A and B are shown apart, each in its own frame.
Chain A
Amino acid sequence: MKKEARQIERLQLPFRVAFHISMQSVRIRFWRSVITAAGTVLGIAFLVSVLTAMIIQRNSGAITDPSERYRMTWLVIISLLVCLVGITNAMLMSVTERYKEIGTMKCLGAYDIFIVELFFIESALVGFIASVIGWFLGVFAVVLVKLFSEGFKVFGWISYGEVFLYLILSIVIGTLLSVIATIIPAQVAARMPAAAALRVEV
């Protein structure tokens, strides 16, 4: 009886439960998630639009200027970095909003790593969905623009296989970007003391 508190068994958060909590979290805080996702959507849309435009240009037989390629690569990298900062910012806001929830979880026995896990799953989910949307927007925008300037022959210039490959590329980059951007916010969240649960705003 006396030594009860010393018998330490590991507490656990099964992945299935963590995934469920994170998914609900995205759903219920929909607009917050949209803001977080917007960064990834725009970044990926830009990346895909540049890539798709390159395919169309190549297939249309137009000569591509190699310096143009460099310029675009830089633009894409910079835009993705800007996204990264944007997502981090939105996630940090989200952490400060949830101090009470995080504190409560800790009062219920959550380890720091549980909190990190929840944030990572959530950002991966948002990143995944945002990447798919971003890919679609990017392709759609380029095709629309080219359709106006070149007419229907655009459809012949698209390599559908490659464009589909870009979807996979987008998902990988977008999800990774989202998860990397969450490293700092997740750490901030994990360091939140359990006593934060008791804080009352006046």
Chain B
Amino acid sequence: MAVQPQTNQTTTTGTEYIVRCKDVVKEYMMGTQVVRALNGVTLDIVRGEYLSIMGPSGSGKSTLFNMIGGLDKPTSGSVFINDVDMAQLDAQELAFLRCRTIGYIFQTFNLIPVMTALENVMLPMIFGGLSTDEAIDRGIELLKLVGLGERLHHKPSELSGGQQQRVAIARALANNPQIILADEPTGNLDLRTGKEIIELLRQLNKEQGVTIISATHDLKMVDVSDRIVWIRDGRIDRVEERAAVEVRVGDVEGTPG
């Protein structure tokens, strides 16, 4: 019913879009005043790409991010994830989408403080219906993947910021999501740790093919992103495509003669 196949688009361009935003407008009521946070944003995100949304605070960056993540609904326009219009989903379907299709990473890490690192990683799997044993095995595997195999049973309060963010990344990967949404993932980390986290995200993006969308104003992200979308005053200011530049250079080099 809510499935709106966009196969024409997909086949003609040859690329598969995992997220498509069409004329997204979002208005908030501030007292009696209407504030337009997003003013007609159209953006297609390719499966497997590493996309950064950049912009000063108040630019609508977070609002756009929330729309893409299914955390908020647009006033007009629509957001499609896997060609499914988010506006058509009910609460249960949204929860399912959040559990299975999207992994979230937060600026403040947001681990459940009462649970150990392993339990945190296991939680989305338990929600998803995995047995405890399966969840433990996969949880350990994921924590090893992010370099925390030694700290399975530590509580978040016993971990450093960088370690907590690694647990959060492992948790985001728990149900093999297609998209990872990272909201300022390096915002609360020092320079070096931030860099490590960015590299880890890039590595996961390359090795696991997961689409990474991050809202950030950390310029370190520029180096690893395939595309950078600059938001200003609720509109897309410009889109920089690093991959396109690279591909062009490669083509030139590859051309005989």
Chain A interface (Cβ within 8 Å of chain B)? 1-6, 8-14, 17, 21, 24-25, 27-29, 100-101, 103-112, 114, 193-195, 197-198, 200
For residue B229, CB closer than 8 A to chain A, the reply is no
Complex Cα gap A1–B96 (Å): 15
The closest CB in chain B to the CB of A27 belongs to: B114
Interface string of B72-85 (1 = CB under 8 A from A): 10000000011110
The closest CB in chain B to the CB of A17 belongs to: B126
Complex Cα gap A106–B124 (Å): 10
Q: Which of B134-165 contact A (CB under 8 A)?
A: 155
The closest CB in chain B to the CB of A108 belongs to: B124
For residue B250, CB closer than 8 A to chain A, the reply is no
| Besides A3-B84, A104-B104, 13 new A-B residue pairs in contact (Cβ under 8 A), listed by A number | A5-B89, A9-B96, A11-B128, A13-B126, A28-B114, A29-B114, A103-B110, A104-B106, A104-B111, A104-B112, A107-B110, A109-B95, A193-B71
For residue B5, CB closer than 8 A to chain A, the reply is yes
Give every chain A residue within 8 A of B100 (Cβ-Cβ): 5, 109
Complex Cα gap A9–B100 (Å): 11
Q: Which of B15-68 contact A (CB under 8 A)?
A: 62, 66
The 7 closest A-B pairs by CB, nearest first: A109-B99, A195-B71, A24-B114, A104-B110, A108-B124, A109-B127, A107-B104
Give every chain A residue within 8 A of B128 (Cβ-Cβ): 11, 109
Indicate which residue in A2, A28, A198, A200 contacts B83 across the interface (CB closer than 8 Å). A2
Complex Cα gap A200–B5 (Å): 37
Find out whether the CB atom of A13 lies under 8 angstroms from the CB atom of B114: no
Can you list 27 pairs linking A and B with CB atoms under 8 Å apart? Answer: A5-B100, A10-B92, A21-B112, A21-B114, A24-B114, A24-B115, A28-B155, A100-B108, A101-B110, A101-B113, A103-B110, A104-B106, A104-B110, A107-B71, A107-B104, A108-B104, A108-B124, A108-B171, A109-B124, A110-B127, A111-B91, A111-B95, A112-B91, A193-B71, A195-B71, A198-B66, A200-B108
Find out whether the CB atom of B101 lies under 8 angstroms from the CB atom of A197: no
Complex Cα gap A105–B84 (Å): 23
For residue B226, CB closer than 8 A to chain A, the reply is no
Complex Cα gap A193–B72 (Å): 9
> Would you give the shortest CB distance from B176 to chain A, in whole angstroms?
11
Find out whether the CB atom of A5 lies under 8 angstroms from the CB atom of B98: no
Find out whether the CB atom of B114 lies under 8 angstroms from the CB atom of A4: no
For residue B97, CB closer than 8 A to chain A, the reply is yes
For residue B196, CB closer than 8 A to chain A, the reply is no
Give every chain B residue within 8 A of A1 (Cβ-Cβ): 82
Indicate which residue in A5, A106, A114 contacts B101 across the interface (CB closer than 8 Å). A5
Give every chain B residue within 8 A of A114 (Cβ-Cβ): 127
Find out whether the CB atom of B127 lies under 8 angstroms from the CB atom of A8: no
Complex Cα gap A200–B70 (Å): 19
Complex Cα gap A107–B93 (Å): 13
Find out whether the CB atom of A2 lies under 8 angstroms from the CB atom of B5: yes
Find out whether the CB atom of A5 lies under 8 angstroms from the CB atom of B107: no
Give every chain B residue within 8 A of A107 (Cβ-Cβ): 71, 98, 104, 110
Give every chain B residue within 8 A of A6 (Cβ-Cβ): 2-3, 84, 93
The closest CB in chain B to the CB of A199 belongs to: B108
Find out whether the CB atom of B114 lies under 8 angstroms from the CB atom of A5: no
For residue B129, CB closer than 8 A to chain A, the reply is yes
Give every chain A residue within 8 A of B91 (Cβ-Cβ): 111-112
Find out whether the CB atom of A28 lies under 8 angstroms from the CB atom of B3: no
Complex Cα gap A76–B132 (Å): 46
Indicate which residue in A8, A29, A198 contacts B106 across the interface (CB closer than 8 Å). A198
The closest CB in chain B to the CB of A194 belongs to: B71
For residue B212, CB closer than 8 A to chain A, the reply is no
Give every chain B residue within 8 A of A198 (Cβ-Cβ): 62, 66, 71, 106-107, 183
Give every chain A residue within 8 A of B197 (Cβ-Cβ): none
